[in-house]
Amino acid sequence: MNRIKVLDKEFEISIPSEKIQERILEMANQISADLKSLDPVFIAILNGSFMFASDLFKKLSIDAQITFLKLASYQGTTTSGTVKQLIGLNQEIKNQNIVILEDIVDTGITLDTIMRQLSGYQPASIRVATLLYKPDACKTDIPLDYIGFPIPNEFIIGYGLDYNGYGRKYKDIYTLVTNH
């Protein structure tokens, strides 16, 4: 399937499954080598990263722990409106070496929020592995330790990423077709 329709929009394939798996294997090998003696705890950020986290974790050559977190939005009382809070952290991460697993870093604001909240738990170190990265959209300067694919500033779906909740199921990644 080179073209798919999700809700009212058309998407065309941009990163096929084989390329995704190949790249994840490279990332897993690199991470295994770098963190060999550090007994890392992987933290996958839901929902988008569930496929990436699952595939990367299976490809690690070291044993490790994994846990899952979600950023919940709620209407806060601050002037900025929506406040996002990290929920689900039920594991002691103090003094642990953390690897955050993200599906995509777009503006970087989500990751910035996550980093600031996780830092409060005083882990020994925090590394970031993201499958996708939009350098032209990113407004923060958080160092990304492992990047799967830098991509153009276009809307994508598939492999865990959604458009209004749909389109997560595909094993390939698709880019929105825009009609100029």
Site for Mg ion, rule CB under 5 A:
48, 103
Beta carbons of 131 and 145 less than 8 angstroms apart = no
Q: Smallest distance from the beta carbon of 173 to ligand IMP, in angstroms?
A: 9
Between 25 and 115, CB nearer to ligand IMP: 115
Burial tier of 20 (Cβ tally within 10 Å: 0-12, 13-18, 19+) = buried
Is residue 158 part of the contact set for ligand IMP (CB under 6 A)?
no
Identity of the residue, 50 or 155, whose beta carbon is nearer to ligand IMP in the bound complex: 155
Residues 6+ apart with CB under 8 A from 110: 45, 71, 84, 102
Whether residue 70 contacts residue 47, with contact meaning beta carbons closer than 8 Å, is answered with yes
Contact between 91 and ligand IMP by CB under 6 A: the answer reads no
**Complex with Mg ion: residue 103 or 172, whichever CB lies closer:** 103
Which of 24, 40, 13 has its CA nearest to residue 103? 24
Identify residues 102-131 at the interface with ligand IMP (CB under 6 A). Answer: 103-111
CB 44 within 8 A of CB 60: no
Q: Is 106 a catalytic residue?
A: yes
CB of 65 to ligand IMP, least distance (A): 22
6 binds ligand IMP (CB under 6 A): no
Closer residue to ligand IMP in complex, CB, 149/155: 155
106 contact, one of ligand IMP, Mg ion, none, CB 5-8 Å limit per kind: ligand IMP
Which of 8, 39, 55, 106 is catalytic? The answer is 106
Instruction: Give 165's Cβ-side CA count (13 Å radius).
Output: 0
CA dihedral 170, 40, 122, 43 (to 10 degrees): 10
Residues that bind ligand IMP (CB under 6 A): 48, 103-111, 155-157, 161
Active site residues: 106
